[in-house]
Structure 1
Amino acid sequence: MTTSIKLPRPAADFHVHVRDGDMMKLVVPTIKQGGVSVAYIMPNLVPPLTKVEDVLSYKSRLEAVDSSVTYAMSLYLSPAITPEVIHEAKKAGITGVKCYPAGVTTNSDHGVASYAPFYPTFAAMEEEDMILNLHGECPSAGHIHVLNAEEEFLPTLKDLHARFPKLRIILEHCTSAAAVQAVLECGPTVSATITAHHLFLIIDNWAGNAYNFCKPVAKLPADRQALLDAATSGNPKFFFGSDSAPHPISAKEKGKNASAGVFTQTHAIAYVAEAFGKLGKIDKLVDFVCNFGRDFYKVEERPSSFSVVLEKEEDTVPLLLGEGGSAVVPFKAGENLSWKVVITEA
């Protein structure tokens, strides 16, 4: 039985929300705590990051909190993201552009209603070999609801892939068997991230529990199984992106208006190990959390100043991160995990 796993390099998390201001200062140190040294940072701040200089300023604020992590940065797709901005962003070292359909999740009010106006931008991204990150949902309307919003989006994914076959595209945070199949049907320039929490949750876990509510929502047991199968398959199309999304208690306890997002950063890799271990697939962990994402993103990073070992040891998830109404409740708060992340400074 495996009792200790020394990662050949710390994990890479290709979907991270850390907000700004006091929340950023609270959350950024937990990236390393969770076993991660490369974090792809989402741009849906208020206001969203639509200028190169604003992205670079944000990166500087992140590095001021913890410089041991490599922060890969993204722009927020909006009419301001022209081909000229893409060329500027590439020169500045920005990794990709995140596309939010308007109104589908946290801070997406400035998102996209139609993709055709952005074809010149996508062509420039293809030319510059930048990443397009797709939040894969259609807004709820008519026959579209939270349980089929991802599946209804999949024709858009396939259409964009057909129009821009050399554009590297990520279908973010897959939640359904249909999404997994769509990614498999696309060429090698299309991959997908899978979160830690979606390896555990189904609809029953978030209906009535705001702390398990995220977008896209967790779906049926068969969908969860499809995610587990994809994540442990050894197929490099699927790799880790936590979509860890901190919200204060005050934002989560709003009944039907609760903010969407599950916070997993503090125990990111331990959650994945828990899910893989239960399937007897712990040998698939390193590729999923360390290698496949780095290879797809072609990430440039500094040598890590710390190493990560997973120990087969009980570890209790704390009830809160922070204090008072601004505190954040972690995923599986108060529960015991069977794997513990141990950080050693170089």
Structure 2
Amino acid sequence: MGFASIDDLELPAAFDAHVHLRDGEMSQLVTLTIRQGGVNQVYVMPNLVPPVTTVQQCLEYRDRLKAIEPNVEYFMSLYLHESVTPDVIREAKKAGITGVKSYPAGVTTNSSSGVVDYKTFYPVFAEMEKQNMILNLHGEVPSTPPHAHSSNTNGSNAITILNAEPAFLPTLKTLHTLFPNLRIILEHCSTAAALEAVRACGRAVVGTITAHHLSLIIDDWAGDPFCFCKPVAKTPEDRDALLQAVVSSNGRFFLGTDSAPHDSRKKRGEDKIAAGVFTQPNAVGLVLDALEKGVERGVIQEASVTTQVLEGFLGGWGRRFYGIEDGKAEKVVLKKQQGQIADVLKKDGIGVEVVPFRRGEKTWSVTWK
């Protein structure tokens, strides 16, 4: 029986290698949705306000998350900042912190304290390589105005949200060349060029792919603030390249949803739209839906969506790269079109609410075994 004809699946619980759980009230609201999406292990981003730059902050943050939802395993990261030194890396390794996340300054939500010059951090990267820690890269270059005269790799004077990822890729190549054994993840790949850049590197470099980038193109977010994220969704050809990478990468790409909740007022009620798509409550189902649509359009072959591919992309390949165990070998049963995506996520006593991706639509239901 082919994938498109299957109405129910039993799979190992997923590992989501890129989540934003925020803090305070928002964290209270969204952390409880992790298991709803079929996930029992997550890699947590550190771009809080203020950012998580010390080992103590990181461990305290993990404790807050555990207090909200103790049935999820949280793998933690530090925010790459001038205060993160080789000594901090050694301390972080001893404390069980998994990696360090790099944000170019000003490129996305809560990134104002991010990286201006990667050369500054070469001693940090060298120590991370020695300690076998992971460098997570938000692979974009900050936008520049059209009249700027700085040169860049795409031959234009301006960086926009459409070419910000391709313009970053030479930095990825440089870092891998200088630190060939440093485990690097190019996060939330959104272009065919990003996929090719990862493939051109050694096995120490991999990439994550989100659920929403498997579905969206530029027209979607241009008309809907709840589909606007960084990096933005690109062309149909880029989306289709991502779908093909899911089924053909042999482990070079795996799921990192980049689920990024924002209060609904920041998505449509303020002068500037917040960048982020919230997919956490339906993470696995949204991936399956996207693959099914890919089969229907002839972008991927039905026979290529195997159980091995699904188990690998949704958890196995990410766990292998991170060197983590499979989360108590829990399993989930998914049923097609039996899940209902909420119109809005809210909770009594909490002053924020979040609109999920594909609000109000049907997807796969998740039942834990």
TM range (shorter): over 0.9
Residue deviations 1:54-113, cap 9 Å, x none?
000000000011111110000000011100000000000000000000000000000000
Q: Secondary structure at the match of 1:81?
A: coil
2:311 matched to which residue of 1?
286
**Amino acid across the alignment from 1:140:** S
2:334 maps to 1:331: no
- Deviation beyond 3 Å, 4+ runs, structure 1: none
What pairs with 1:197-208 in structure 2 (closer than 5 Å)? 197-208=212-223
Deviation at 1:235, TM superposition (A): 2.0
2:132 maps to 1:129: yes
Distance 1:300 1:101 in 2: 31
Distance 1:267 1:156 in 2: 33
Give TM-score, length-normalised by structure 1. Answer: 0.96
| Preserved contact between residue 86 and residue 124 of structure 2 (Cα < 8 Å) | yes
1:67 matched to which residue of 2?
70
**Amino acid across the alignment from 2:131:** E
Distance 1:135 1:248 in 2: 22
2:323 maps to 1:298: yes
2:285 maps to 1:270: yes
Deviation at 1:208, TM superposition (A): 2.8
Deviation at 1:301, TM superposition (A): 6.2
2:253 matched to which residue of 1?
238
Distance 1:237 1:307 in 2: 23
Distance 1:255 1:228 in 2: 34
Distance 1:108 1:318 in 2: 29
**Amino acid across the alignment from 1:286:** E
| Preserved contact between residue 276 and residue 285 of structure 1 (Cα < 8 Å) | no
2:344 maps to 1:320: yes
1:170 matched to which residue of 2?
185
**Amino acid across the alignment from 2:40:** S
Residue deviations 1:192-251, cap 9 Å, x none?
000000000000000131100000000111111111111121421100000000001111
Q: Secondary structure at the match of 1:181?
A: helix
Quickly say closer, same or farther: Cα 1:256–1:151, change in 2 above 3 A.
Answer: farther
1:44 matched to which residue of 2?
47
Give the CA RMSD over aligned residues: 1.4
2:224 matched to which residue of 1?
209
Distance 1:301 1:71 in 2: 13
Residue deviations 1:141-189, cap 9 Å, x none?
1410000000000000000000000000000000001001101100000
Deviation at 1:314, TM superposition (A): 3.1
Quickly say closer, same or farther: Cα 1:52–1:294, change in 2 above 3 A.
Answer: same
Distance 1:111 1:312 in 2: 41
Match of 2:365 among 328, 333, 340: 340
**Amino acid across the alignment from 1:81:** V
Percentage of identical aligned residues: 54
2:17 maps to 1:14: yes
Distance 2:224 2:215 in 1: 14
| Preserved contact between residue 343 and residue 356 of structure 2 (Cα < 8 Å) | yes
Q: Secondary structure at the match of 1:312?
A: strand
**Amino acid across the alignment from 2:51:** P
2:153 matched to which residue of 1?
none
Deviation at 1:312, TM superposition (A): 2.5
1:112 matched to which residue of 2?
115
What pairs with 1:214-233 in structure 2 (closer than 5 Å)? 214-233=229-248
Structure 1 window deviating more from structure 2 (271-280 vs 244-253): it is 271-280
1:56 matched to which residue of 2?
59
Q: 5+ residue gaps in structure 2?
A: 149-157, 296-301
Quickly say closer, same or farther: Cα 1:256–1:199, change in 2 above 3 A.
Answer: farther
Q: Secondary structure at the match of 1:326?
A: coil
**Amino acid across the alignment from 1:333:** R
| Preserved contact between residue 239 and residue 293 of structure 1 (Cα < 8 Å) | yes
Distance 1:257 1:165 in 2: 39
**Amino acid across the alignment from 1:208:** G
Give TM-score, length-normalised by structure 2. Answer: 0.90
1:88 matched to which residue of 2?
91
